[in-house]
Structure 1
């Protein structure tokens, strides 16, 4: 069963991720390239995240259909200060989340997720945290290491869980996966593990509680290392078959559409 993390803690995590994204964007500069998002500059990254925050805020607050992407991105392009525009979206999102009732009745798109209010907050925490890591990459000129991340092992493990039990399982059966094979993912510092069975029909993920079953491939690393790796931000986690990561990068992608 999915862990429902503390609502206040997750709200603070969202604010922290926004602060990290913003501060790294300032240091890197809006015209800097983002190594972890080929073809993007920091300007593109900030505009994208501001777009997602506004979309999520409108959906959570149920204020009507979110504005089309093109309109929001044009607004970002016209903003006198893009980072101020980003801040406005962050505040709008945080206010929408804070005002949402615990029993918020909206749809959520990933399987095995917390209740909708918590699921949407969780989604925005990890969406923003990963893009904050992208802003770090722009500043550093390389993907950040796990020990350079600000997120706690518990929060990083939660982000791994969202990928393995949500995005990976939701993929259409006709979409190629890095299989057929079974893969055991272990977060060495968070006491969390996931057994993933990849087949031609899709993926099945089981959270491991106790002795782990045998697997064709084993993957291990700190929770932060796993977090970055499953989100295709470097390859800090160690796999018994290193070729897994080539297939993973090609076939396991989360995109905005």
Structure 2
């Protein structure tokens, strides 16, 4: 699964997301609830993200990190925001130091090589969880225009979600009655056809004028940033957007 952004662009996206995350976490306060992840408050959100940063950095360095211990460390940190920042800086350094041929585990279907995989994955993981911090500060999911997310990053993130996450055996987006989604961003030259059945979803990336798109049962259209947030369940809910099944069945916290 080739990435549409460069390694450097993913590192830039990670840094931008970290800045937004710390800004909105500070603004919301550690005890604030996270509307887009109702089981978490901001302290738990920070502990989760900081744990993942440290875990990913460890994988790139060939080290095994105990995730539960890392998360406890984050929850008990005297300054959780600074703890989050330290872990992200260490992750960026680990990515930069790692050779292009580094051997490290990956977990998405048809994943790019490990160094590129982890730069992309942590760019989008941190971006989505920074949106969660923004939702905690705002008291609800933000509108796309309120975020810092750019079109190119959003398109890359949609591709990672649809082509990497949904086809995994553990994906929960399933239905007894087959449904085909056409995901059609307003920008870019690519669109996606997602066939949902009782088995893991099958995603096909196509050109934006491919006839298969018109034959889909559900047309999912909008700006790239809007679709990025909606497909990750991080946008205000619209009752007529055709994504009721998506929201009900897809559990996408990562």
Query: With structure 1 as the length reference, what TM-score do the two structures score?
Result: 0.90
Give 5+ residue unaligned stretches, structure 2. Answer: none
Deviations 1:96-154 (A, max 9, x none): 10101111222211112222110111110111000000011011111011111212101
- How big is the shift at 1:255? 4.5
What's 1:87 paired with?
Answer: 85
Deviates more, 1:175-184 or 1:38-47: 175-184
Relative to structure 1, is the Cα distance of residues 247 and 23 closer, same or farther in structure 2, using a 3 angstrom cutoff?
A: same
SS of 1:253's partner is coil
| 8 Å CA contact retained: 1:101, 1:117 | yes
Q: Is 1:31 the counterpart of 2:35 in the alignment?
A: no
Which of residues 143, 158, 161 is equivalent to 2:159?
161
**Residues 219-234 of structure 1: pairs in structure 2 closer than 5 A:** 219-234=220-235
Q: Quote the Cα distance in structure 2 between the aligned partners of 1:210 and 1:86.
A: 39
What's 1:189 paired with?
Answer: 187
Relative to structure 1, is the Cα distance of residues 50 and 211 closer, same or farther in structure 2, using a 3 angstrom cutoff?
A: same
What's 1:66 paired with?
Answer: 65
| 8 Å CA contact retained: 1:190, 1:222 | no
What's 2:134 paired with?
Answer: 136
| 8 Å CA contact retained: 2:162, 2:194 | yes
What's 2:40 paired with?
Answer: 40
What's 1:18 paired with?
Answer: 18
Give 5+ residue unaligned stretches, structure 1. Answer: none
Deviates more, 1:44-53 or 1:210-219: 210-219
Deviations 1:179-215 (A, max 9, x none): 5111100110233310111122221111112522121
| 8 Å CA contact retained: 1:57, 1:97 | yes
Query: With structure 2 as the length reference, what TM-score do the two structures score?
Result: 0.91
What's 1:209 paired with?
Answer: 207
- How big is the shift at 1:171? 3.1
- Aligned-residue RMSD, C-alpha: 2.0
